[in-house]
Structure 1
Amino acid sequence: MRIACIHQGWELYGSDRSFAESVAALRGTHPDAEIEVVLPRPGPIVDILQSHATRILFEPLWILRRKSLLRLATIDAPRLPIAVLRALRRLRSFDLVYVNTSVIVDYALAARFSRDRTILHIHEIPEGLALKILGGLIRFSGSELIFNSNATRQAFGDPKTVMTHVVYNGVEGPAAPLPVTYHGTRPLRVLLLGRINRIKGQDVLLDAVAALPSSVRQRLEVRIVGSAFESDEPERDLRERIDRLGLGEHVTLLPFIPDPSQHYSWADVVTVPSKRPESLGRVAIEAMAWGRPVIASSIGGLTEVVDHGRTGWTLPPGDPSALRATLLAILDDPAVLAPFAATGRLRYEKLFSRDAVSATIGRIVTQKLARRGIAAGLSSTTERGAAE
């Protein structure tokens, strides 16, 4: 069995961890398979892939990103045919090619000519022109599709001409949730963890805290953890905003780290105040796994993760006043956190645990191979040889 897994990232943010967990699921389902992983460059993700991949290669990929659209359409356009040919050669030499996210253009195009071997796993909800381009690509590919939420599938119009699945991201959590330790006798610890950009809502949290009376702000400790992508300008802007709002004593800004467990251990409540649709919301899932109630925007896949009034709160996106009111409610009634934490952990175990999701991914792959007449553990090359 020969399986290739293609990913556009190299860090350890949500989509990177989801990819690593899918590779682990494939290894668990096909322990004797040759699994080749292709990344655009080395990075922290390599460490968690090594135990599951037979080999890891670094190759240029034609990745569609908002900030590089002009370059891709002009300077980089001549290299697209070469990239597609390279992708097509890999598609035809492997029994299965698993492509993580829709933005890897060369593989989406090549899949059109070998669609029976390809699965595209969609983890993003683009908007505007990007949605039209990526939606057109996945339809053109003709590949079998896995969406990470119903919200993601709906955003792409639920293509009817190909086989589709909704599989929530599997997240590895602690063996047991941490106890709730906030009872109102110390400051409430509020965590926001995620990439620093225009959609994650760091500004919404800051505005909510700034709107609190000074005496109430003394009862809060806020930790914002994350880094920007390929530029430190958003981080500088965020620091300047913290200073401008006079929140330096209450808000700590820390860089991204591969293992965020220390931050979940520190937190009492986790905020995910995204201003644009999240395809699912990995941070919200991780928070529930750790026993931390979530305050999230009622947008995109976050509404499928957070059960409002039972595991946390869902609020209108981009609304600091609603977030401010929720923080005040927790400060006024800390007892609400313990039952929310317990219910959130149960929801995580049922819907989002790595074991539950790995079994589903493995079943989809096995069924796809079976439709081509390939039995588990055998490659098409092996079967051809046996037939001869």
Structure 2
Amino acid sequence: MTPDEAVNETASALPGDAGAARRSGRRGRVLVVHSSDELYGSDRIVLEVVAELVAADELDVTVWLPSDVAPGPLGPMLRELGARVERHPLPILRRMKLSPGGFLRLGRDAVRTLARLRGRHFDLVYCATSACLPVAPLARLTGVRRVVGHLQEPWSAKDRVGLRPLASACTALVAVSHSVLGASGLAEDPRAVVVHNGVPHRSRELPTAPPEHRRPHYVIASRWNPHKGHGTLLRAWDAAGCPGELVILGAVPAVGLGIDVAALVKKHVSRPETVLVVGEVDDATPYLQAADAVVLPTDTLEGFGLVTVEAFSEGRPVIASRSGGPEEVIDDGVTGWLFDREDVDGLASLFRDLDVATLGAAGRRAEAAYHRDFTPARMRSRIAAVVDGELGRPTRITTELAEAS
């Protein structure tokens, strides 16, 4: 069966509100549920998903953000796209709140969400991260016939015990990488499709080549979580003789465990003047452009590593741990370099061997890979195909998607 045939078959058999919406010609009502109000990896992907949904004139798009986090930059950006944005108590799974009291709050928020869903009559609910999956069965209980789960995080064996029953309420699943899909245990599930992330090229009136310097400049841009590998990076940096300049962007997460990066620099780096801790910035683009390469030293599994394709879009290669998602993006030795997770010596060896010219050549190849495989248009067309199929709308599946299916 071709992708077009699959969508047409879905449309003809579509029950309930979504089918009625299509037959009556009214705008379909889509709810996107997200777990934060920041502007990191998964948040940027939500922007692209919502932009694609809003671009379809036949859809009325509402986004629910959780009220247990402080208002951040994501909400206003979603409103600028044309979505209706609301903040509510939501049953979001957060590791820091998986306690007896946390489960009570989760149950309370689930009851409130169930009541809210009963009064809104959405045609499709889009759970933008695995943490939002408790909303999926609630939506189905209220009569929502189509629920999409977007898996952006790798699941541990313990995660699978709780998340797979929730995911069973979804009628379609999107995973950001084969690594994430495999970790979920749903690799053979016919509802699931892998859609690699894409990001816009965000350059402005800024230099497109690194400044001239003799020693490489590197940047790391991520939340300051314990598993993001800052300790591994800083130990390797010192072991390699502090071989240039290292800029650290990011901040502790709004919810969850954080680390003191400045203290790690003081503890592990003998020449702290080679490391600049900048912190959180509104736009990392100038820092990517000023660097020769980006480092992604995650100690555990990385769902995708969005900064990898952001770096590629700016013509910068990436040095990353073999942590799952980045292995599907980086061509080792061509568009970047891979090292084993938590391998301080391996990363230090790369730092010793790499120079500005080698990094520049890899960056040019990385930029070509971005334009070929990781543009937002490519990602959005595949997300649109999933949503169109679920709602029984006329398909917008592209030739590129048909060939990939």
TM-score, with structure 2 as normaliser: 0.83
Structure 2 equivalent of residue 12 of structure 1: 39
Structure 2 equivalent of residue 350 of structure 1: 372
Structure 2 equivalent of residue 256 of structure 1: 280
Q: Distance in 2 between matches of 1:57 and 1:231?
A: 19
The 8 Å contact of residues 4 and 36 in structure 1, kept in 2 or not, is answered as: yes
SS of 2:150 mapped into structure 1? strand
Q: Is 1:290 aligned to residue 314 of structure 2?
A: yes
Structure 2 equivalent of residue 320 of structure 1: 344
**Partner amino acid, structure 2, of 1:335:** A
Match of 1:68 among 71, 76, 97: 97
- Deviation sequence 1:99-136 (CA, Å, 0-9, x none): 10121243122144346321111100132422321223
Structure-2 change in CA distance of 1:174 and 1:285 (3 Å) = same
| Bigger shift: residues 106-115 or 266-275 | 106-115
Match of 2:267 among 230, 238, 244: 244
C-alpha deviation, 1:322, in angstroms: 0.9
Structure-2 change in CA distance of 1:121 and 1:232 (3 Å) = closer
Q: How does 1:133-172 map to 2 (within 5 A)?
A: 133-139=162-168, 141-158=169-186, 160=188, 162-172=190-200
**Partner amino acid, structure 1, of 2:147:** T
Q: Distance in 1 between matches of 2:257 and 2:46?
A: 28
**Partner amino acid, structure 2, of 1:172:** P
Q: Is 1:192 aligned to residue 220 of structure 2?
A: yes
Structure-2 change in CA distance of 1:247 and 1:235 (3 Å) = farther
C-alpha deviation, 1:6, in angstroms: 1.0
| Bigger shift: residues 64-73 or 286-295 | 64-73
Q: Is 1:336 aligned to residue 358 of structure 2?
A: yes
Match of 2:333 among 294, 304, 309: 309
Unaligned runs of 5+ in 2: 1-26, 397-405
Q: Distance in 2 between matches of 1:25 and 1:252?
A: 37
- Deviation sequence 1:323-378 (CA, Å, 0-9, x none): 111111113xx3322331121112111221111111111122112211xxx5589x
Structure-2 change in CA distance of 1:55 and 1:174 (3 Å) = closer
Structure-2 change in CA distance of 1:233 and 1:102 (3 Å) = closer
Structure 2 equivalent of residue 383 of structure 1: none
- Deviation sequence 1:228-271 (CA, Å, 0-9, x none): 113798443x2222112333211111211231112112211100
How many residues are aligned here? Answer: 363
Structure 2 equivalent of residue 34 of structure 1: 60
Percent of matched pairs sharing the same residue = 29
The 8 Å contact of residues 26 and 361 in structure 1, kept in 2 or not, is answered as: no
Structure 2 equivalent of residue 381 of structure 1: none
The 8 Å contact of residues 220 and 294 in structure 2, kept in 1 or not, is answered as: yes
**Partner amino acid, structure 2, of 1:301:** G
The 8 Å contact of residues 32 and 63 in structure 2, kept in 1 or not, is answered as: yes
**Partner amino acid, structure 2, of 1:35:** V
Q: Distance in 2 between matches of 1:45 and 1:294?
A: 26
The two structures, once aligned, show a CA RMSD in angstroms of 2.5
Q: Is 1:210 aligned to residue 234 of structure 2?
A: no
The 8 Å contact of residues 44 and 258 in structure 1, kept in 2 or not, is answered as: no
Q: Distance in 2 between matches of 1:77 and 1:341?
A: 45
- Deviation sequence 1:36-61 (CA, Å, 0-9, x none): 11111431102321122341111111
Q: Distance in 2 between matches of 1:247 and 1:135?
A: 47
Structure-2 change in CA distance of 1:78 and 1:241 (3 Å) = closer
**Partner amino acid, structure 2, of 1:18:** I
Q: Distance in 2 between matches of 1:242 and 1:283?
A: 22
Structure 1 equivalent of residue 252 of structure 2: 228
Structure 2 equivalent of residue 380 of structure 1: none
Unaligned runs of 5+ in 1: 378-388
Structure-2 change in CA distance of 1:186 and 1:257 (3 Å) = same
The 8 Å contact of residues 31 and 122 in structure 2, kept in 1 or not, is answered as: yes
- Deviation sequence 1:190-247 (CA, Å, 0-9, x none): 111100011111111100111123xxx3x411111111113798443x2222112333
C-alpha deviation, 1:71, in angstroms: 4.4
- Deviation sequence 1:157-208 (CA, Å, 0-9, x none): 126555111111121114699644466x433111111000111111111001
Structure-2 change in CA distance of 1:137 and 1:232 (3 Å) = closer
The 8 Å contact of residues 288 and 344 in structure 1, kept in 2 or not, is answered as: yes
| Bigger shift: residues 94-103 or 57-66 | 94-103
Q: Distance in 1 between matches of 2:116 and 2:157?
A: 27
Q: Distance in 1 between matches of 2:78 and 2:149?
A: 19
Match of 2:299 among 263, 275, 285: 275
**Partner amino acid, structure 2, of 1:339:** A
**Partner amino acid, structure 1, of 2:78:** L
Structure-2 change in CA distance of 1:80 and 1:40 (3 Å) = closer
